[in-house]
Amino acid sequence: MELSCKKKLHALSLAEKIQVLELLDESKMSQSEVARRFQVSQPQISRICKNKEKLLADWCSGTANRERKRKRESKYSGIDEALLCWYHIARAKAWDVTGPMLLHKAKELADIMGQDFVPSIGWLVRWKRRNNVGFGARHVLVPPFPPEPPPPGITTHAQLPLSLKDFSPEDVFGCAEVPLLFRAVPGGVGTCDQVQVLLCTNSKGTEKRRVLVGGLQAAPRCFFGVSSEALPASYHPDLGVPWTEWLARFDQDMGRQGRQVALLLAARVVEELAGLPGLYHVRLLPLPASSTTPPLPSSVVRAFKAHYRHRLLGKLAAVQSKRDGTSLAKAGAGVTVLDALHLVAAAWAKVPPRLILGGFVQEGLAPGKRPPSPDRASEMLPVPRGLSREEFSRFVDLEGEEPGPGVCKEETGTGDEDRGGEDAFEPLPTKADALHALGTLRRWLECNSTSPELFEKFYDCEEEVERLCCL
C-alpha cells in the first residue's frame, strides 16, 4: 500500500511571475491565496516577492525569454554577454545571422578573452533560450541604453548637454578621426601618404584609449613577421573607422571595470550608428549638428600632430646623417606604415593630461567653470632645426592644404629602389641579432656621454629582450 505520493513541482514562467507580482500589488490577496490560484506552494510565491527587482529587470529588458520557467546562468557569462552584444549589432545591420556564425563568433570571443571554451550545439541552444534569441522576426530586440537625442535649446558650444552632467570627468570620453599624412615632409605631400587615426581619451587625460590607425592596404609589406599583439597601436585596412567593432570592444572594457561612461561623438557618426543596440556600459552623446565644437578638443588634436611631426623630422634627420646626400623627401619616402604606428603611439603618449583637461573645459565638454591656466611655454614644442616657428606651424596643419606632387612609395610592390634593391622581405632578426644589437647600443651610449636616466630606461629594455630570448 502506498502511503504517500510525491507532489509534482509546478514552476511558473517569467510572465506568470509578473502576474503574481501585479496581483499582490493591486489586490489585498495574501500569498497563500495567490498560491492556490496559481496552484503552487506559498514558499514559491515568497521567493518571487524576494526576487521582485530582478524579475522586473528581466521583464523590462526585452531580451529575456518570458515563457522560460527556470533561468540557469551560463558558466561562461563573459562570452555569453559579448556574443549577445555582437548579435544585437549584426541584427541592427540586417545581417543574416546563422547558428554556425554564432558558434564561430563565440569561439573567436573566447580566444580574445583567453578562455578555454569550445561552443557546442547544446550550448548555443541554451544561449538562445536564455537571451530570447531567434533568427526570424518573432522577437523584438530593444537596446538596453539607446542613444539619447541632444537636449533642445543648445545654441552655444559652452553649454553642457543635460545628460553629460550625470557623469564624472573621468567617465566622459571624447574621440575624433584625424587624417594624417604620415610620410609628409615640409614642401612635399603625396596623396597616397594618408592614414586615418582614431584618438580617444577621457576629459581628464588620465585614460587614453589605444590608437586605431586605418590605411588603404590590407597587408602592408612592412608587417611581415610582426605580431599584432606587440604593436603599440591597432591597424585597420580601411580609412573608414570600424565603429561597431571598436564600440563593442570599448563597451566590453568598461563592463569589466563595472563603469558607465559617456562617449562624445559627432552628430554625423551617431546618425550612421542609429539603432545600434548592445551597448550596455557606453552612452553615446552626439554633439548638436549645428555646433562647431569637435568631440575631441582641437587643441588636443593639434598637440598630437605637432608631436608626431616633431618626432618624424627627428627620425628623418637621423637617417640623413647616416646616409650622406640623402634628401629629406627621399628619407621621408622610406617611412612605412609600421613606422607610422610607432610614431603615432609615441606622439599620443606625449600629449599631457593637463592640456587635455584644459581643452575639454575650454570647449565646454567637461564640468568646470573655467579651464586651468596652462603654462604656454612648457606646452610649446621646440621648433625643429631648419624651420621657423611659422613654417613648423604650417607643417603641423598640413592636412588642411591641397596635396601636391610629393614622393609616395607603394609598400605592396615587389621592388624597393629606396632601400638599395634589397629583397621584398627582409629576413627576420634572430635572438643573436637582438643581443648583438643591445651590446652595440650600450657601447654607443657609453661613448656619447649618456645621462644615467637614459641608462635606466635602457636597462629595462635590455632585461625584457633577455627574457624574450630565454623563451
List beta partners, residue 107: none
Cβ–Cβ under 8 Å, residues 183 and 344:
no
Q: How far apart are CA 265 and CA 251, in angstroms?
A: 15
pLDDT at 144 over 80: no
Rounded mean pLDDT of 431-441?
84
pLDDT at 134 over 80: no
pLDDT at 207 over 60: yes
Q: What phi, psi does 178 have (nearest 5°)?
A: -120, 115
3-state secondary structure of 173: strand
pLDDT digits (tens, 9 = 90+) for 254-289: 888 888 899 998 888 888 776 666 788 888 888 877
Cβ–Cβ under 8 Å, residues 277 and 142:
yes
pLDDT at 427 over 90: no
CA angle 414, 416, 420 (to 5 degrees): 145
Confidence of residue 304 (pLDDT cuts 50, 70, 90): very high
Question: Between the ranges 77-91, 263-277, 305-319, 401-415, where is the mean pLDDT highest?
Answer: 305-319
Q: Which residue has the higher pLDDT, 188 or 460?
A: 460
Q: Which residue has the higher pLDDT, 289 or 468?
A: 468
Q: Which of 196, 165, 156, 197 is nearest to 287 (CA)?
A: 156
Q: Name the pairing type of β-strands 194-202 and 234-236.
A: unpaired
Q: Which of 169, 175, 295, 353 is nearest to 247 (CA)?
A: 175
pLDDT at 189 over 80: no
pLDDT at 356 over 90: yes
Q: How far apart are CA 325 and CA 48, in angstroms?
A: 82
pLDDT digits (tens, 9 = 90+) for 102-117: 888 888 888 877 788 8
Place of cell 513541482: 9
| Residues with Cβ within 8 Å of residue 213, at least 6 apart in sequence | 195, 196, 197, 198, 233, 234, 235, 236, 337, 340, 341, 344
Rounded mean pLDDT of 424-433?
73
Centroid of chain to Cα 5: 60
The mean pLDDT of the chain is 75
391: buried, middle or exposed (CB in 10 Å: 19+, 13-18, 0-12)?
Answer: middle
**What sections of 62-209 are H helices per DSSP?**
77-92, 99-113, 121-131
What pLDDT was estimated at residue 174?
A: 93
Q: Which residue has the higher pLDDT, 74 or 431?
A: 431
pLDDT at 393 over 70: yes
Confidence of residue 8 (pLDDT cuts 50, 70, 90): low
Centroid of chain to Cα 345: 14
Q: How far apart are CA 142 and CA 59, in angstroms?
A: 12
pLDDT at 334 over 90: no
Q: pTM of the entire structure?
A: 0.58
What pLDDT was estimated at residue 206?
A: 92
| Residues with Cβ within 8 Å of residue 404, at least 6 apart in sequence | 188, 189
Rounded mean pLDDT of 454-467?
82
Assign a CATH topology to domain 14-61: Arc Repressor Mutant, subunit A (1.10.10)
Confidence of residue 208 (pLDDT cuts 50, 70, 90): very high
pLDDT at 198 over 50: yes
pLDDT at 156 over 70: no
pLDDT digits (tens, 9 = 90+) for 357-368: 989 988 888 765
Question: Between the ranges 127-136, 273-282, 322-331, 342-351, where is the mean pLDDT highest?
Answer: 342-351
Place of cell 552623446: 285
- CATH architecture observed for domain 77-131: Orthogonal Bundle (1.10)
Rounded mean pLDDT of 419-437?
66
**Coarse DSSP helix, strand, coil percentages of the chain, rounded to the nearest 5 percent:** 50, 10, 45
Q: How far apart are CA 310 and CA 24, in angstroms?
A: 70
Cβ–Cβ under 8 Å, residues 411 and 337:
yes
Q: Which residue has the higher pLDDT, 93 or 334?
A: 334
Going by the DSSP 8-state scheme, the letter that residue 149 receives in this structure is P
Confidence of residue 205 (pLDDT cuts 50, 70, 90): very high
List beta partners, residue 176: 199
What pLDDT was estimated at residue 143?
A: 40
Confidence of residue 157 (pLDDT cuts 50, 70, 90): very low
pLDDT digits (tens, 9 = 90+) for 43-72: 888 888 887 777 776 666 555 555 555 555
The cell for 135 is 533568427
Least reliable range by pLDDT among 130-139, 242-251, 295-304: 130-139
Confidence of residue 352 (pLDDT cuts 50, 70, 90): very high
What pLDDT was estimated at residue 184?
A: 85
Q: How far apart are CA 381 and CA 401, in angstroms?
A: 22
Question: Between the ranges 222-231, 259-268, 393-402, 461-470, where is the mean pLDDT highest?
Answer: 259-268
Q: Which residue has the higher pLDDT, 246 or 386?
A: 246
pLDDT at 415 over 50: no
Q: What phi, psi does 278 have (nearest 5°)?
A: 95, 0
